[in-house]
Amino acid sequence: MGYNTAVVAAGCVLLGVACGIIGCFASLRKRAVLADALGHATLPGIAAAYLVAPSLGLASRSTPVLFVGAAAGAGLGAVAVGLLLRTGRLRADAAVSAVLSVFFGAGVLLLSIIQRLDRGDQGGLSHLLLGQTAAMSRSDAVTIGVLALAATSVVGLLFKEFRSLCFDTDFAAVQGWPVRFLDFVLMFLITLVVVVGLQAVGLLLVVALLVIPAASARFWSNRLGWVLMAGAVIGGVSGLAGAMGSASIDRVPIGGAIVLCSAGLFVLSMVAGPARGLIPMWSRGKHLGSPPR
Amino acid sequence: MTLPTFLTLDFAPMATAAFCAATCAMLGSWLLLRRMSLLGDAISHSVLPGLVAAFVVTQSRSPLPMFLGGATAGVVAAALIELVRRAGKLDSGTAMGVVFSASFALGLVMIRRVEGTMSADLDADCVLYGELSRILWQPPAGTTHLSVAGIGSIPREFIAAGTGTLVTFAAIVALRKELTAAAFDHAFAVTTGLRPGLVSTVLVVLVAASVVSSFEAVGSILVIALLVCPAAAARFLTDRLGVQLVLSVVIGVACAVLGYILAAAAPEIVGLPGAVSPSGSIAVCTGGALVLAILAGPRHGVIARGWRWLDLASRVAAEDRLARLYRESESTGSRVVERERFEPRVSAWVAFVSAWKLRRQGLIENTSKGPQLTGSGLVRAAELVRAHRLWESYLVENVGLRPDHVHDTAMRLEHLPPRLEPELSAELDPHNRPIPPRTSP
């Protein structure tokens, strides 16, 4: 394994760990599907940042510019979902689907304008849809790693608060914790990992990093600490295996590889996870006569 | 632009988009009512591996195998979602997230593996964005569009989309009773043998089929916009099921046509060369339609609801002020209230509108010493105070509350229509203040 592959793999592992942990909280707080809308909503942000950057005297392909654009798009998407829900006439599923598709449509529109402008430097924008097919650059991998670490440490610091937020919001409020602010922090972290993740797996698949490891982890334990641990391990292993697989097999995009690895781990967890997996449940049911609650 | 040019370049893609929009809007309304909108999202992502598999097997993009492959993959994904949801005891959003992202990833990996290895061409772009502008109606040389040969050369995407619309329409008409029962009262549907489970399966198959027949035209992700947005927009405009279905189709078709025209025409106006992505433009139009409906819906729109709220709030504030002036002039014995107590409970906006209402109806006049009730204002205020004190008496005598606990409740009840006020013959309220006599018959 070359040095570059090792750096990319390390970045993917850290990303997987961060997504696994934050995905657990996101799914407990019923925000996991929102990540799909956020992922798609980054596209118009990225395209707009690309269009606007030169007039601000910035390099339009520079990672920070696209990063800010992606975050702005995702933030707008989150606000739009919130506003749609506040009308009280649309359910979360419809709001998420509407924002996802319309924002993505706006992104496609802007991308087609960019193509017409033909500035000659748009190469790589479409990579963000499906993840970097060529090897990530070292600095990209380092950025991903650092941000993933930062997100993980915020969760570590706010573990107790997030736990209350997810399991008993009223209790958290009675304790005097700023529930709305904590919700905002969680949303911010979801946005952060979505934006970071789209560099690696592309904005169409970034939701998978948040949903699949978290859903798999749920089969391993009924204790939050262990579930988070399992989510981190499953996310990290998927990141590692995906990066390695993509590097060693020809023409396998890294995003697809990571997601397929995590899907494999999901099947394994669903079948064999000790807490809620099918086989343990079945064998316990056989001993007790009825499945345990 | 001449008619033949229009028919060659623009008619077929525009009509194809309109057919896709109509199909998706019809199905989208049912998905929305059954809270299954995310399923359209999930299916449109999951058809990808089926499409690629059909492409690999047949080595071409011939429509029937692609359609079968995609629809099969969509139905399989829906079944997998149900399996994961039940076996894993996960909520349906999570189950969908797991299944559709995994199968979409599978499809992308398959595409990348086969890219460039075959004579025919299938790339991620055409699946994601659609290829509306590549649909051309090119009649054989020497014939016109409306000749036999010209009609025979109508592009297959157009025919597929039109067939999809017809089949969907027929299925919905045939199953309207079952669909309605399953959407509004699941238990009723089960007990009367209307088979909601089977209806769900049919709906899933129809969605999968329409997604597959639309993906070539508008792309796999923008088809979600056509499924969700027109239906959601119609939801803000009506409460009737039939109207909802018709409106969503009208909105969908209008967005498709408008979006296509804008994509073709707008860049020239701004001075960009060539056209922009029509599917992106259509999706943005459906979003615009949704926003418009949310703002301007006659009953459920934000503006209508805000207006109704402001109307009520300002009426209550105006009536409260009338009653307050009445009480003060009652205690001082003078019609002019020199020192008016303001209760700053309402926002400035509501206070402004209520003051405007009082002035317009001529209920209060401002003298140099202070505000004063006019003749009609005095009548109206007496009615309000009468209602207030009657309600206080009622609450003490019939409900059994203590006299010092009834004021706030009476403050609300006094705004009810006069025909609802309690029929009591009391002349004094619990605080020994006189109840004004009934003025109007």
Mind listing the pLDDT tens digit for each residue in B197-229?
Answer: 888 889 989 998 888 888 777 787 778 999 999
CB-based contact A129 B124, cutoff 8 Å:
yes
**Residue B28: per-residue pLDDT:** 94
- Which residues in chain A touch residue B228, judged by CB atoms under 8 angstroms apart? 94, 97-98, 101
Mind listing the pLDDT tens digit for each residue in B89-129?
Answer: 888 888 998 999 999 999 888 888 887 666 556 666 777 77
**Residue A146: per-residue pLDDT:** 87
A292 DSSP 8-state letter: -
- Which residues in chain B touch residue A110, judged by CB atoms under 8 angstroms apart? 280
**Residue B344: per-residue pLDDT:** 60
**Residue B157: per-residue pLDDT:** 80
**Residue A116: per-residue pLDDT:** 76
Query: What is the spatial distance between Cα B68 and Cα B166, in angstroms, rounded to a whole number?
Result: 18
pLDDT range class, residue A223, cuts 50, 70, 90: very high
Residue A135 reports pLDDT greater than 60: no
- Which residues in chain B touch residue A252, judged by CB atoms under 8 angstroms apart? 109, 112-113
User: Number of CB pairs < 8 Å for A and B?
Assistant: 205
Q: pLDDT tens for chain B, 441 residues: list them.
A: 677 778 777 888 899 999 999 999 999 999 999 888 888 888 888 888 998 898 888 887 777 888 889 889 999 999 999 999 988 888 888 899 899 999 999 988 888 888 766 655 666 677 777 777 778 787 777 777 777 777 777 887 888 889 989 999 999 999 999 999 999 998 999 999 888 888 888 998 999 888 888 877 778 777 899 999 999 999 999 999 999 999 999 999 999 999 999 988 877 777 766 678 888 899 999 999 999 999 999 989 999 999 999 999 999 999 998 998 898 888 887 777 777 776 667 888 888 899 899 888 888 888 888 888 888 898 899 999 999 999 999 999 889 899 888 988 998 999 998 888 888 887 888 888 888 888 765
CB-based contact A30 B113, cutoff 8 Å:
no
pLDDT range class, residue A124, cuts 50, 70, 90: low
Residue in the block written with tokens 């509108």:
B353
Neighbours of B213 (CB within 10 A): 29
Phi first, then psi, for residue B437 (nearest 5°) are -70, 160
End-to-end Cα distance, chain B: 72
Mind telling me how many Å the CA of B158 is from chain A's nearest CA?
Answer: 22
B228 to chain A: nearest residue by CA? A98
B302 CB near a chain A CB, below 8 Å?
yes
Query: What is the spatial distance between Cα B296 and Cα B294, in angstroms, rounded to a whole number?
Result: 6
Tell me the mean pLDDT in the region A244-272: 90
A268 CB near a chain B CB, below 8 Å?
no
| A133, A207, A211, A293, best to mutate vs chain B, most B CBs in 10 Å | A211
Q: Which of B87, B95, B272 sits opposite A113 (nearest CB)?
A: B272
Mind listing the pLDDT tens digit for each residue in A169-184?
Answer: 899 999 888 998 998 8
Tell me the mean pLDDT in the region A273-290: 81
- Which residues in chain A touch residue B90, judged by CB atoms under 8 angstroms apart? 215, 218
Secondary structure of residue A176 in the 3-state scheme: coil
- Which residues in chain A touch residue B46, judged by CB atoms under 8 angstroms apart? none
Neighbours of B349 (CB within 10 A): 11
| Contacts of residue A137, Cβ cutoff 8 Å, sequence gap at least 6 | none
Question: Structure pTM?
Answer: 0.87
Residues 204-223 of A with CB under 8 A from B: 204-205, 207-208, 211-212, 214-215, 218-219
Cβ pair B133, B114 in contact under 8 A? no
Query: What is the spatial distance between Cα B197 and Cα B206, in angstroms, rounded to a whole number?
Result: 14
**Residue A133: per-residue pLDDT:** 47
Query: What is the spatial distance between Cα A37 and Cα A190, in angstroms, rounded to a whole number?
Result: 11
Phi first, then psi, for residue B415 (nearest 5°) are -85, -5
Residues 392-411 of B with CB under 8 A from A: none
**Residue B351: per-residue pLDDT:** 86
| B284, B285, B290, B292, best to mutate vs chain A, most A CBs in 10 Å | B284
Query: What is the spatial distance between Cα B87 and Cα B106, in angstroms, rounded to a whole number?
Result: 22
| pLDDT greater at residue B335 or residue A264 | A264
